[in-house]
Amino acid sequence: MMLPSDFELHRPATVGEAVALRAELGEAAALYAGGTELLLAMKLGVLDYEHLIDLKRIAGLRGVTCAGGELRIGAAVTHRELETHPDVVRELPGLAALERAVANVRVRAAGTLAGNLAFAEPHADPPALLVALGARVVLVGGEGSRELALEDFLVGAYETELGEDELIEAIVVPVGAPGAVYRKFQVLERPAVGVAAVGNLVGGVFDGAPTVVVGAVDERPVRVGAEMLDGAALDDEGAFAALAEAAAEAVEPVDDLSGSEDYKRHLTGVLAKRAVQALGDV
Amino acid sequence: MKVAGQSVPRVDGPAKVTGRARYALDLTVPGMTHGAVARSDRAHARILSVDTGEAEAVNGVLEVITGASLAPLDLRFGHVVRDHPALAVDRVLYHGEPVALVVAETRRAAERAARLVSVDYEDLPAVMDADEALGEGAPVLHPERIERTKDEGLDQGGEALVGNLCAAADFGWGDVDAALAAADLVLEGEYRYPMLYGYAMEPYNAIASFEEGSLVVYSTAQHPYMVREDLARIFALPLARVRVVVPYVGGGYGSKSYTKVEPLAALGAYVTGRPVRVALSVEESILTTRSDGARVRARSAFAADGTLLARDFDVVMDSGAYTDNSPVVCAKLANRCFGPYRIGAVRVRVRSAFTNTVPASSLRGFGAPQGNLAGELQMDDAADRLGIDALALRLKNVVRPGEEILPGKRGIDADLPADLDLLTTSLGWPNAPEGRGIGFGISASDAGAHPTSVAMVRLHADGSASAAVGATELGQGSRTVLSQILAEQLGLPMEKVAIVAADTGVTPYERTTGASRTTALVGRSLMAACADAKRRVAELAGEGAEFADAIKAFFGAGGEIIGVGAVRRHGEFRKMPPFWEIGCSGVVAAVDAETGRVRVEQLSTVGDVGFAINPALVHGQDLGAATMGLGAALSEQLVYDGQTLANPNVVDYRVPRCSDIPERLDQILAQRQDGIGPYGAKGAGEGTLNPVGAAVAAAVGRIVGRYPRELPLTPERVWRLAQTEDARV
């Protein structure tokens, strides 16, 4: 790892200034909202930008608000803020728990959720749970602002729908889901498999099929059909075995340092089962 | 004793925890420039030409130095074989090898320019596997072999060093074949120990300058006197005109033994006439040195009553592109693989092979963990098959105090049966908690290296004393322990003593800071120096005189008395090794059957150190070493994907973290004052690591029903082991 090449750091005061800078500088510029992924890539020489546009000092991008059954997370909000924010802890304890286990505290103190989503590193924790919760991203650009489901925003590895003159203004997450959990398996610095489950249990029986989303395995989050659990009890071994099988078949893992293809398929099944079972502890 | 035996606070503690302690990386020299290294992106290739034009054009660049540009200087270093060029001259032998050094006014300019160095290569066939490297038709890395420096007698046996054979050990005793034929049980298996990176917080770095005809180098070297020899030869300087200074070092573990970046910095200074710093990143350090991976074929023969009749080891080490320290590791692996047992017949053949990979050298444990994995797992396996308790089987065969492990060598200076009892009591053997497995093992390492150490003590007019020693402070606490010995010998409080260390221009010769030797050997040379100083005091002012009074009487004003002491291979130090370093460690582990993840819940170690001069520091060493063992047992391994490393960074190469430390730690000290060091001390710092790999593998094997044979025990490997239908092998 070396020093990154020279770059100019821009610190716009408003979202409008940031959008204007992005339009002006084009591909020579990258948005900078914590830098925990971006600067590593620049130090490794994988990415090279002449300009960085720092979003973290823009007041309009800061803060978490909770209103109208939704949590609105500004683009400059760090993982650490989410992990400790009383509204997040109260309304989405599953997200707070996920954030608490992202990387390490130094990364969490600097890195932002928006930066994480925009970088679209496949081996990330937040996307699976946010997709399962039906999160949306608010994008703002020269043409105004628009909202996209996070699931549609994430296109592939390091690839999103973010337009050339756009930036993420906020992430909007509906609250009020009865239970939302995330379980991951991690050996190296990033998760090998992460599974989010959102669902409701009434008297130990699933009220409707839970939503199950697998992250960190494929290039983007993958939904797993969990209809076999609709009406199933927490101790229904057959239904959970079917879920594990469905999850293992839903993903397309590749061999890497975290494990080979068949092992990661197996792990996906195990983690899907554990995540959904954990809804019983919520 | 007043000070020795006490866990006094580290003398360097306050400076280190407040960030004031100075490491080589903290130093600057007036006029200092910065070097950056351009590296090979080929595993094996001929260098046709190097285009430095673009790099030279970068603002701030002073020189772009290539191997060819330095002729007729001979750039090769190596304390066993001088075959390792500081910069590749006509061929590169591994991906990541230094090809050019850019010297610039700023680090930024140097790094940018280094990326612009363009090399035209002609690819050559590469060999990435050690067994293949020793096979017919493999490309030969070193067609012209360079003679050994003969600094140390290393090779055992007469195997000719041809082809890719870097080093070999071949010895034994008794009739192994007859014992195998007559045995009631013969176990046979192939085991694999990974190649490792000895992660240290401070990567390799050095500053070099030529001052008034002398080469002065500040560096992270563990063995500054060895580095001095390499530099003296490259630049044709007398030893007196090479000064290597080693301030505090941010972790060594053997990874900083011998020469690393010092020649690069010195070449930069030589060409530019300016002081040059070369400071590698962690990623570059991984491309500089690793440890030898090993493939171990082992056979053990037992009688029905558990008597260990014979052992037969055939080992191939993957030693990488250059010789470096692998011949010494080869010799030590051979001595250590069969274990501290009474064995009637032993045959050992270890071959170290050149491959087109990062060159291997020393790492904590030094050959012991590689062989111990096979040796100890076969003890556990045999115990199961013979229906004998694994502890009882070891107690039956382990050597008793004073008994020889290697014919003609020093007998064992430890009580291994007593150590095993302490360990297994701590682990609750044989009663593992529900769903858990216990694993434990033992090892003995011929430690101390060649016993050459010189110390100097200075008694000052105010009643204080300082000592000059060549030992480096790597974080292990050498300055604290040596301060304690100095204070104890002179009857002074800790506040009145000081240690000056590791400056070849000032401090006396020290062979190495390795092989767990500093407390025992430097401690003894320091004691000798204290005795010499006291003798002079008595000569000047009579027995029992205060040394301040003696100084005053002799000089009238000012003055000091100097004592020197040495340890050499003579007298009680004649027999090798100077001492045995015992490893005695065990774990209680759990396995998540669905994922294969292993969790070590308890780690127990017995530090058989003879006498703990500073028990807190011994605990630190024992825990640190065992934790490094857990790294290799569970997660650490350098992985080659074709001709390049797949994980040349500490994001993908997983070293243990605080959260990996077992919840329950039991660190036992066995203090029987049976060592050659001060007050009966022996060395520590490596021993507890050596049996950890086999212990974790045994614990996992007892849970899943078959013993693993390859480390690290990644979750996938354990999961697959549990899936295997094969009977226990």
Quick: pLDDT tens for B557-572: 999 999 999 999 999 9
**pLDDT band of B101, cuts 50, 70, 90:** very high
Supply the pLDDT for residue B159. Answer: 83
Average of per-residue pLDDT across A174-191: 93
Using a CB-CB cut-off of 8 Å, the residues of chain B touching A5 are 112
Average pLDDT, chain A: 96
Q: Range with the lowest mean pLDDT among A167-171, B181-185, B722-726?
A: B722-726
Last residue of a domain, one of A158, A174, A190: A174
With contact defined as beta carbons under 8 Å apart, do B56 and B8 qualify? no
Å between B88 CA and nearest CA of chain A: 22
Supply the pLDDT for residue B725. Answer: 65
In chain A, the N- to C-terminal Cα span, in Å, equals 42
Q: Are residues A127 and A185 in the same domain?
A: no
Residue B115 has pLDDT above 80, yes or no: yes
Q: Are residues A77 and A155 in the same domain?
A: yes
Q: Are residues A192 and A234 in the same domain?
A: yes
Q: Using the beta-carbon criterion (under 8 Å), do A185 and B715 form an inter-chain contact?
A: yes
A1, A5, A263 ranked by CB distance to B282: nearest: A1
In a mutational test of the B interface, the residue from A183, A267, A268 whose CB has the highest number of chain B CBs within 10 Å is: A267
Residue B546 has pLDDT above 90, yes or no: yes
- Collect all residues with Cβ–Cβ distance below 8 Å to B320 and sequence separation of at least 6: B94, B290, B292, B326, B354, B355, B357, B358, B359, B360
Quick: pLDDT tens for B32-44: 999 999 999 999 9
Average of per-residue pLDDT across B589-600: 97
Last residue of a domain, one of A174, A199, A217: A174
Give me the number of domains chain A comprises: 3
Q: Are residues A102 and A166 in the same domain?
A: yes
- Is A140 part of any domain? yes
Q: Are residues A72 and A46 in the same domain?
A: no
- Is A3 part of any domain? no
ipTM of the complex: 0.94
B281, B595, B649 ranked by CB distance to A2: nearest: B281
Quick: pLDDT tens for B387-442: 999 999 999 999 999 999 999 999 999 999 999 999 999 999 999 999 999 999 99
Average of per-residue pLDDT across A65-94: 97
- Collect all residues with Cβ–Cβ distance below 8 Å to A39 and sequence separation of at least 6: A4
- Best CA proximity match to A54, nearest among A31, A38, A25: A31
Using a CB-CB cut-off of 8 Å, the residues of chain B touching A185 are 595, 597, 715
Residue B361 has pLDDT above 70, yes or no: yes
Q: Are residues A169 and A66 in the same domain?
A: yes
- Best CA proximity match to A167, nearest among A105, A210, A231, A112: A112
Give the helix/strand (H/E) hosting A126. Answer: helix A126-132
Using a CB-CB cut-off of 8 Å, the residues of chain B touching A194 are none
Give the helix/strand (H/E) hosting B630. Answer: helix B615-634
Q: Are residues A166 and A193 in the same domain?
A: no
Supply the pLDDT for residue A4. Answer: 86
Q: Are residues A76 and A31 in the same domain?
A: no
Q: Which residue of A has its CA nearest to B599?
A: A187
DSSP per-residue codes, B172-187: EES-HHHHHHH-SEEE
- Is A29 part of any domain? yes
- Is A263 part of any domain? yes
Specify the pairing of strand A159-160 against strand A154-156: antiparallel
Tell me which residue range forms the domain holding A29.
8-54
* Residue B31 exposed, middle or buried by CB count within 10 Å (0-12, 13-18, 19+): exposed
Supply the pLDDT for residue B457. Answer: 98
CATH at residue A268:
3.30.390.50
CA distance A20 to A17: 5
Using a CB-CB cut-off of 8 Å, the residues of chain A touching B646 are 257
- Residue-range domains of chain B with CATH: 32-125+204-279 (3.90.1170.50), 372-447+578-723 (3.30.365.10), 450-573 (3.30.365.10)
Beta carbon pairs, A and B, within 8 Å: 43
Q: Using the beta-carbon criterion (under 8 Å), do A267 and B281 form an inter-chain contact?
A: no
**pLDDT band of B727, cuts 50, 70, 90:** very low
B107, B281, B652 ranked by CB distance to A257: nearest: B652
The side-by-side arrangement of strands in the sheet containing B242-245 is B61-66, B98-104, B33-39, B276-279, B205-211, B214-219, B242-245
Per the listing, tokens 């009749």 go with B309
Average of per-residue pLDDT across B367-375: 98
Q: Are residues A154 and A231 in the same domain?
A: no
CA distance A178 to A208: 12
Supply the pLDDT for residue B726. Answer: 56
Residue B539 has pLDDT above 90, yes or no: yes
Quick: pLDDT tens for A222-246: 999 999 999 999 999 999 999 999 9
Q: Using the beta-carbon criterion (under 8 Å), do B647 and A257 form an inter-chain contact?
A: yes
Whether residue B112 lies within 8 A of chain A, CB to CB, comes out as: yes
Average pLDDT, chain B: 96
Quick: pLDDT tens for B469-517: 999 999 999 999 999 999 999 999 999 999 999 999 999 999 999 999 9
Supply the pLDDT for residue B601. Answer: 98
Q: Are residues A157 and A189 in the same domain?
A: no
Whether residue B647 lies within 8 A of chain A, CB to CB, comes out as: yes
Residue type, A14: T
Q: Are residues A212 and A168 in the same domain?
A: no
With contact defined as beta carbons under 8 Å apart, do B195 and B202 qualify? no
Tell me what percent of chain A is helix, strand and coil, each rounded to the nearest 5: 35, 25, 35
Residue B263 has pLDDT above 90, yes or no: yes
Tell me which residues of chain A have a C-beta less than 8 Å from any C-beta of chain B: 1-3, 5-6, 45, 185, 187-190, 257, 259-260, 263, 266-267, 270
Task: For residue B577, say if its preceding peptide bond is cis, omega within 30 degrees of 0.
Answer: yes
Quick: pLDDT tens for B129-167: 999 999 999 999 999 998 888 766 565 777 889 999 999
Q: Using the beta-carbon criterion (under 8 Å), do B639 and A267 form an inter-chain contact?
A: no
- Is A198 part of any domain? yes
- Is A19 part of any domain? yes
- Is A2 part of any domain? no
* Residue B66 exposed, middle or buried by CB count within 10 Å (0-12, 13-18, 19+): buried
Residue B258 has pLDDT above 50, yes or no: yes
- Is A222 part of any domain? yes
Residue type, B580: W
- Collect all residues with Cβ–Cβ distance below 8 Å to B118 and sequence separation of at least 6: B50, B51, B54
Q: Are residues A73 and A131 in the same domain?
A: yes
E-strand stretches of B93-196: 98-104, 118-123, 165-173, 185-193
Quick: pLDDT tens for A202-219: 999 999 999 999 999 999
CATH at residue A19:
3.30.43.10
Last residue of a domain, one of A174, A196, A222: A174
